[in-house]
Structure 1
Amino acid sequence: MSDTMTAPHSVRVDLGDRSYDILIGAGLLSKAGDYLKPLVRQPRVFVLTDGSVGGLYAGALETSLRDAGLTMRLKAVSDGEQSKSWQTLGEVLDWLLMEGAGRDDVLVALGGGIVGDLTGLAASLMKRGMTFVQIPTTLLAQVDSSVGGKTAVNAPQGKNLIGAFYQPDLVLADTTVLSTLPERERRAGYAEIVKYALIDDPDFFDWLEVNGERVLALEEDAIAHAVAVSCSAKARIVSEDERESGVRALLNLGHTFGHALEAANGFKSSLLHGEAVGTGMALALRYSVRKGLMNGQDAERASALLEKSGLVTHLNRLPGGPYPADALAEAMKQDKKGRAGRVPLILARGLGRAFIQPDADLSDVRTFLEEEIQQG
Structure 2
Amino acid sequence: FAVAWATLDDFLFLHSQPLPLKRAGLAEVVKVAVVKDASFFNWLETNASALAVCERDALEYAVEHSALLHASHIACGGDAFELGSSRPLDFGHWAAHYMETMSGYTLGHAEAVSVGMCLDILYSVRKGWLPAAEAERIISVLKTLELPVFHPLLSRRTENGACEVLKGLEAFREHLGGHLTVLMLTGIGWGKDVHEIDAALMEECIREMQEAAGYSVQE
How far has the Cα of 1:182 moved from its partner?
Answer: 1.9
The CA distance in 1 between the partners of 2:17 and 2:155, in whole Å, is 27
The CA distance in 2 between the partners of 1:323 and 1:170, in whole Å, is 41
Greater helix share, structure number: 2
Larger RCO: Structure 1 or Structure 2 (Cα < 8 Å, ≥ 6 residues apart)? 2
What secondary structure, in the 3-state scheme, does the structure 2 residue paired with 1:313 have? coil
Work out which of the residue numbers 98, 104, 115 in structure 2 matches 1:260: 98
Q: Deviations over 1:314-366 (max 9, x none)?
A: 234xxx77544621012331111375xx8432111111112221333445434
Q: Deviations over 1:151-197 (max 9, x none)?
A: xxxxxxxxxxxxxx333344322111122222221222001011111
Report if the CA contact (8 A) 1:343-1:361 is conserved.
no
How far has the Cα of 1:262 moved from its partner?
Answer: 1.2
Name structure 2 gaps, 5 residues minimum: 214-219
TM-score, scaled to structure 1: 0.49
The CA distance in 2 between the partners of 1:343 and 1:368, in whole Å, is 20
The CA distance in 1 between the partners of 2:181 and 2:18, in whole Å, is 33
User: Structure 1 residues 293, 253: closer, same or farther in 2, change over 3 A?
Assistant: same
If you compute each CA radius of gyration, which structure gives the higher value, 1 or 2? 1
- For 1:190, the equivalent position in structure 2 comes to 26
Greater strand share, structure number: 1
Read off the aligned partner of 1:186 and give its amino acid letter. K
Report if the CA contact (8 A) 2:36-2:189 is conserved.
yes
What secondary structure, in the 3-state scheme, does the structure 1 residue paired with 2:105 have? coil
The CA distance in 2 between the partners of 1:247 and 1:224, in whole Å, is 32
> Does residue 286 of the first structure (1) align with residue 117 of the second (2)?
no
Matched length:
205
Read off the aligned partner of 2:92 and give its amino acid letter. G
Read off the aligned partner of 1:356 and give its amino acid letter. D
How far has the Cα of 1:297 moved from its partner?
Answer: 1.1
Report if the CA contact (8 A) 1:264-1:323 is conserved.
no
The CA distance in 1 between the partners of 2:204 and 2:155, in whole Å, is 17
The CA distance in 1 between the partners of 2:155 and 2:201, in whole Å, is 20
User: Structure 1 residues 168, 312: closer, same or farther in 2, change over 3 A?
Assistant: same
How far has the Cα of 1:258 moved from its partner?
Answer: 1.1
- For 1:311, the equivalent position in structure 2 comes to 147
Identity %: 30
The CA distance in 1 between the partners of 2:6 and 2:39, in whole Å, is 29
Read off the aligned partner of 1:337 and give its amino acid letter. L
RMSD: 2.5
> Does residue 331 of the first structure (1) align with residue 168 of the second (2)?
yes
